[in-house]
């Protein structure tokens, strides 16, 4: 069985990672890769690392009729607010869509007004979309036609906190997530703050008074808790190219031991193919450096009983578990494929 895949926005960073990972997928043929800038050019002109791959594919302009005629599944790697211009017609034409933007991640249309400053035109599709975090939504992902792939900061934050929230051992009215993130998070189009001379060596908070990914974290953890969970999320730009580290600070409702916490994390994650619980052995805590290039999320925790506090940690590669890898994991589940197909890559070292 071969599934024909189109990637809209294939010249960008997440599009490039989709192409890199799908090159190894045994049941996928990429038939369309769109770009406005590189129309007619070979794939390696935008993605130098893919020289020798996709010899028969060239970037094409975004034409929905062509895509509908030549693909079964579409990955949309477009900026926020652009995906929703194309997704409804693709769905109406019977194609499955995995959207990497934020356009379908939030269930409540009102949240788009609050966090993204626009009126969402398709509340019916928000209801249908499945939030593509397999660790929390695996069953709903089976057969899903619209998958809203989570944000990278949100993925790390949710994975760090979900075991603690599910176990009911922390105060869910005040949680603070400190996120460190590398420059590729801002995409391939440099801005004054994100191009190399400004970014190299930086350690800089941004959107510290209400980052948009907090909306996803609140939504998902509230679903898990069965009540509203209040989360503040403060991201920091750091000098690396890839990687997200979420350090989620929370306060205990009752005394627990280190072993209790290990059980809590193991209960949720021991069977997960892409989660590794990091404990004890140096470096002791999750570090994005040791997941780069892979779909792994390394998670861990630190207990500080004196302060009544537990910190959950999660480290991911923002472009893999935080974007393209997770999107393919969700696609595999939706298609009823083995979940790890195309994703069994160990991380790089040194990275």
Of 135, 185, 298, 339, which one interacts with ligand NAP (CB under 6 A)? 185
In this structure, are strands 146-148 and 96-99 parallel, antiparallel, or unpaired?
Answer: parallel
Element (H, E) at 333: helix 325-334
80 binds ligand NAP (CB under 6 A): yes
77 binds ligand NAP (CB under 6 A): yes
Q: Is 11 or 247 the residue whose CB approaches ligand NAP more closely?
A: 11
Extract the tokens encoding 211: 């980052």
18 binds ligand NAP (CB under 6 A): no
Site for ligand NAP in 293-322 (CB under 6 A): 318-319, 322
Q: How far is the CB of 72 from ligand NAP (least distance, A)?
A: 21
Residues in CB range of 336: below 8 A, 6 or more apart: 142, 143
Vertex 196: Cα angle to 192 and 198 (nearest 5) = 50
Extract the tokens encoding 33: 């890769």
Vertex 106: Cα angle to 67 and 190 (nearest 5) = 65
Angle at which helix 13-22 crosses helix 325-334, to 10 degrees, equals 50
Q: Is 19 or 341 the residue whose CB approaches ligand NAP more closely?
A: 19
**C-alpha pair distances (Å), 18 with each of 23, 47, 164:** 8, 11, 32
Instruction: Tell me if 217 sits within 8 A of 157, measured CB to CB.
Output: yes
b/e map of 7-33 (b: 16 or more CB within 10 Å)?
A: bbbbbbbbbbbbbbbbeebeebebbbb
Applying CB under 6 A, the span of 104-112, 186-194, 205-213, 245-253 interacting with ligand NAP comes to 186-194
216 binds ligand NAP (CB under 6 A): no
Extract the tokens encoding 313: 């940690």
60 binds ligand NAP (CB under 6 A): no
| 71 noted as active-site residue | no
Q: How far is the CB of 150 from ligand NAP (least distance, A)?
A: 8
Q: Is 153 or 250 the residue whose CB approaches ligand NAP more closely?
A: 153
Applying CB under 6 A, the span of 179-187, 199-207, 212-220, 307-315 interacting with ligand NAP comes to 179-187
**Cα 189 from chain centre:** 19
Of 26, 79, 143, 284, which one interacts with ligand NAP (CB under 6 A)? 79
Cα dihedral 183, 213, 235, 158 sign: negative
Applying CB under 6 A, the span of 12-20, 231-239, 269-277, 332-340 interacting with ligand NAP comes to 12-20
Q: Is 13 or 54 the residue whose CB approaches ligand NAP more closely?
A: 13
Q: Is 202 or 277 the residue whose CB approaches ligand NAP more closely?
A: 202
- Of these residues, 32, 90, 130, 152, which one is catalytic? 152
Residue 260 φ/ψ region, left for φ over 0, alpha for ψ in the -120 to 50 degree band, beta for the rest:
alpha
**C-alpha pair distances (Å), 106 with each of 147, 214, 216:** 12, 11, 6
Q: Is 135 or 261 the residue whose CB approaches ligand NAP more closely?
A: 135
Length of the chain: 351
Of 62, 125, 130, 238, which one interacts with ligand NAP (CB under 6 A)? 62
Site string for ligand NAP, 321-350 (x = CB under 6 A): -xx---------------------------
How many Å apart are CA 106 and CA 15, to the nearest integer? 22
50 binds ligand NAP (CB under 6 A): no
Count of residues touching ligand NAP (by CB under 6 A): 30
Site string for ligand NAP, 147-166 (x = CB under 6 A): ----xx--------------
Of 2, 26, 37, 344, which one interacts with ligand NAP (CB under 6 A)? 37
- Where does this chain bind ligand NAP (CB under 6 A)? 9-15, 35-38, 62, 77-80, 82, 100-101, 151-152, 184-185, 187-189, 318-319, 322-323
Please list the active-site residues: 152
């Amino acid at each position: 069985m071969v599934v024909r895949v189109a990637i809209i926005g294939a010249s960008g960073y997440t599009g490039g990672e989709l192409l890199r990972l799908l090159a190894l997928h045994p049941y996928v043929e990429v038939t369309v890769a769109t770009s406005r800038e590189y129309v007619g050019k070979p794939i390696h002109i935008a993605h130098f690392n893919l020289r020798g791959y996709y010899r028969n594919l060239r970037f094409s302009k975004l034409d929905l009729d062509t895509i509908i005629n030549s693909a079964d599944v579409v990955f949309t790697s477009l900026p926020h607010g652009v995906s929703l211009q194309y997704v409804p017609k693709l769905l109406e034409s019977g194609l499955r869509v995995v959207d990497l933007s934020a356009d379908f991640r939030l269930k409540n249309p009102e949240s788009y007004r609050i966090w993204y400053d626009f009126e969402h035109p398709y509340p019916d599709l928000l209801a249908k979309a499945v939030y593509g975090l397999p660790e929390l939504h695996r069953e709903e992902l089976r057969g899903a036609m619209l998958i809203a792939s989570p944000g990278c900061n949100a993925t790390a934050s949710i994975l760090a906190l979900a075991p603690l929230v599910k176990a009911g051992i922390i105060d869910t009215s005040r949680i603070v997530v400190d996120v460190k993130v590398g420059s590729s998070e801002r995409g391939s189009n440099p801005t004054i703050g994100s191009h190399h001379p400004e970014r190299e060596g930086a350690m800089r908070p941004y959107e510290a008074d209400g980052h948009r990914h907090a909306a996803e974290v609140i939504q998902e953890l509230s679903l898990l808790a069965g009540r509203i969970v209040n989360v503040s999320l403060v991201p920091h730009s750091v000098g690396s190219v890839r990687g997200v580290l979420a350090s989620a600070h929370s306060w205990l409702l009752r005394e627990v031991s280190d072993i209790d916490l290990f059980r809590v994390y193991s209960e949720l994650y021991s069977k997960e193919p892409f989660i590794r619980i990091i404990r004890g052995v140096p470096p002791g805590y999750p570090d994005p450096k040791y997941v780069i290039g892979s779909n792994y999320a390394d998670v861990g925790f630190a207990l500080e009983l004196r302060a009544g506090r537990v910190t959950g940690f999660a480290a991911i590669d923002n472009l893999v578990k935080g974007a393209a890898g997770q999107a393919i994991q969700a696609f595999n589940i939706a298609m009823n494929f083995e979940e790890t197909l195309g994703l069994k890559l160990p991380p790089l070292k040194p990275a």
